[in-house]
Each structure stands twice: as C-alpha cells, then as structure tokens.
Amino acid sequence: MKPSFNEILDNVVQSAKKNAIEHEQMTPFLFAIGTEQMAMIPIFEMPSEREEKDEMFEKIGHEIANQKGKIGTLQAVIFATEAWMSSVPKTEKILPRPSLDPKRKEIITIIALDLNNNMTSEIIYEIKREKGKKTELTEVMDNRKNPDNIKNFESPLFISLMKGYITVGLQQTSKNKVIN
C-alpha cells in the first residue's frame, strides 16, 4: 500500500531536520509526488530575489510536467530549505528583508501542497547554535495542527511551480488536438 501524503510529509520533515543538523549548509530539495512514483529534485543554487525564485519554480513545474510519463499525474509537492525569518511587531509597517534583519532567526521551512485534498502545509523549525555549530531544532509552527490554517496558507513558489506544470499540460493538450 502506498504511504499517505501525511506519512510522506512526516518522513520529509524528519529527513530535513536530520540534514539541517548534520550539515553546515542544507541543500534545498523538492519532492514531486506522482501517481506512479516520487522524484526528488535538489536545488543547488537558490536565487535570492523573488522574481528569480518564481522563474526557477516555473521551470521546475515545466520539468515535472515533462516527466509525467515517469512520475504519473502530480499529486503533491513538498519543498524543504533553510531560510531566515523575521518577527516584526504589529506596530511596524515595513517588514525588513529577513536576510538583512539583525534580529533574524535561522530556520528550516518545509512547505507542502496536497493537490488531492487541496491542502497546503507549512512547518518551521528554528535552528539553535552553540559556538557556531547547529545543536538543536525547535518547532516554531506546524499549521497541520490547526485545521483552519491548512487551507489558508499560500506559497508564491508553488503558484509559480503549478503555473509551469499547467502551462506544459495545456501545450500538450493543444498539440494533441492539432494532431488528431
């Protein structure tokens, strides 16, 4: 029997946590879960600018769609990466870019999109360091623990990925109509 989406997500979370502690720099990775199989896509160079990230994820969506014969129809996507997080008081109107915020926190974040159930998840762990070495991870958030938050979370990266995935699907449908 195939594992459920939550079982896969739990395994990815455990793998990301282990990877984050064991390695100084965690390589971001994306899992594309299809009806036939799952593909892991390492992301060796993550752009820093939003537009560049969106373009990269749109291209990844194209690649996943072009691999449909291998993975089957896309069922879910899970992305894990290290990042910076800022906490800003509600009285502040301008959010600093986390990488420039002197009070930033180092985190790992795992975002997931379950296409079968139209659910999104975000899980965040703060990385604690002692003498510059990663020593522990503390859970900051897991929106799966509050069912109201699961459907309300939106990821711009996944929107770009799905745009790329759907665009290829539409192009393939158009080609099939012309051929038939």
pLDDT, tens digit, 9 for 90 and up, residues 87-133? 777 777 677 778 888 788 899 999 999 998 888 889 999 999 888 88
Question: Is residue 103 within 8 Å of 110, Cβ to Cβ?
Answer: no
Q: What would the 3-class secondary structure string for 79-134 be?
A: EEEEEEECCCCCCCCCCCCHHHCCCCEEEEEEEEEECCCCEEEEEEEEEEEECCEE
Residue-range definition of the domain harbouring residue 103: 5-179
- Which tokens belong to 3? 């594992």
Q: What is the phi/psi pair of residue 106, to 5°?
A: -85, 130
Helix (H, G, I), strand (E, B) or coil at 40: strand
pTM of the full structure: 0.84
> What residues form DSSP beta bridges with 128?
136
Q: What is the pLDDT of residues 50-66, one digit of tens each?
A: 899 999 999 999 999 98
Residue 175: pLDDT band (50, 70, 90) is low
Q: How many domains does the chain have?
A: 1
